[in-house]
Copies of this chain bind each other. A is one copy, B any other.
């Protein structure tokens, strides 16, 4: 037996079930995160882009759309929301005038830092209640799944 069954999801962990388990858990967590989101705040998509710009530095629209695996037109609109809100700005690329470099504003950088801890308060509390071993398990799974998401 590879894994013990989760009592309530009864038939779920069968031979082919791991993908379904991951997908279900991810979907439920994602929706849970979204349900905690106060109205008027940046959505997770926009915040993820802002955080990416903050951590990696200026990027073009094409780079951002490829990193986020969305169509360029989709990323353009997400960036419209960020720039309209004053969290990012467009700057011309001096070497290629077709390109636009997006970068965070001071407000955007502040928000990226602040929101990172604030928005995760609930989740951090839940995770803190796990045993150290379980925390390591979750951390390791995040590495593995993050790599899969980017593969």
Residues of A within 8 A of B (CB): 2-3, 5-6, 9-10, 12-13, 16, 18-33, 35, 44-45, 48, 54-57, 68-70, 116-117, 119-121, 123-124, 126-127, 130, 132, 134-146, 148-151
Contact = CB atoms under 8 A, between A and B. Distances in A.
Protomer copies? 2
Residue in A6, A12, A121, A151 with the greatest tally of chain B CB atoms within 10 Å = A12
Contacts of A146: 6, 9-10, 21, 24-25, 28-29
A33 B5 CA distance: 25
23 contacts: A2-B57, A2-B135, A2-B139, A3-B57, A3-B140, A18-B139, A20-B117, A22-B29, A22-B142, A23-B123, A24-B142, A26-B29, A27-B48, A28-B149, A28-B150, A29-B145, A29-B146, A30-B30, A31-B45, A31-B69, A31-B70, A31-B149, A137-B137
